[in-house]
Amino acid sequence: MVTKVMIKKIPGELLVFMAALLWSLMGVIAKGTDVSASWMLALRSAAAGLCLSPFLFRSRPKFSRHIVLAGLFYTMFCLLFVWAARLGTVAMAISMMYTAPVYLLGYDMLKTRQITLYKLLPFLLLLAGILLNVFGSMGNAPLGAVLLGVLLGLAFLFYGVFLKRVEGGSPFGIIAMINYVSLAFSLALLPFDFTPAPVSLETIVILLFSGVVISALSYVLYRAGLAQIPLERGLLIALSEMLLNPFLVFLFLGEKPPALILVALLLILAGAVLDIVFSAKKKPQ
């Protein structure tokens, strides 16, 4: 198993990219199973929490409101992703999820009252991607799918914000605690979920496996990566999932997103790449 020492030797950018590779499996699971989002999250969080529990005893993070808030927004973006992907397409859901940088860039320009090409061009590309997602979804998916996508991007942004503020403990222990918080939230939703519980052994095994790989290992890598690099860069590198996720869904399930959605995805990706390049150029040599 990957150890904390091994993780520290891996560059933060690579850790976030590795996490994105594992996240790309979620689109296939969301679209390929008929389990409700709350049941799916409950099983994933339980498996992830149990898998990582031993690390709580070695290096327990300080339980704080940041842990609770990170767990809350983690729960929100996991549920919103499944709902948005099922109402629309995985390409739309995943591209809207990664529009989080547009809010950071917009907030930064308003706060500093400085509009430069380095900030404005990526911002406009990301914003254009959001608008194309709206137009591309019209006639192909309910407008509610786009609204869920907007909320998804915000939830993912705030998850990253509060995750970065968690103090103490190893990435393993932090993610274990966040998954237990998420489990508590998802269990609280189950009384309001009137869909049947999953009974297929194959489905249960898939969801438990996704908990270990997608909800545990991937977020350990992501948290460890964020500890080494700025939040904005971590969010932008993770955009690589935007290409892998819909590709795997197309490969395994045959879902073809509308052309405008694909253009929106590429615009958002282009904005992300430009922001990374501009940020690197502004760093002192």
Cβ neighbourhood burial of 4 (10 Å; 0-12, 13-18, 19+): middle
With a cut of 80, say whether residue 233 has pLDDT above it: no
pLDDT digits (tens, 9 = 90+) for 137-165: 666 667 788 889 889 989 988 998 898 88
- In this prediction, residue 1 carries a pLDDT of 47
Cα four-point dihedral sign 186, 192, 194, 196: positive
Number of domains in the chain: 1
With a cut of 90, say whether residue 73 has pLDDT above it: yes
pLDDT digits (tens, 9 = 90+) for 82-129: 999 998 888 888 888 877 777 777 777 777 777 777 778 888 888 888
| pTM of the full structure | 0.82
For 47, the domain range is 4-282
Q: Which of 87, 93, 90, 117 is nearest to 105 (CA)?
A: 117
CA distance 157 to 110: 18
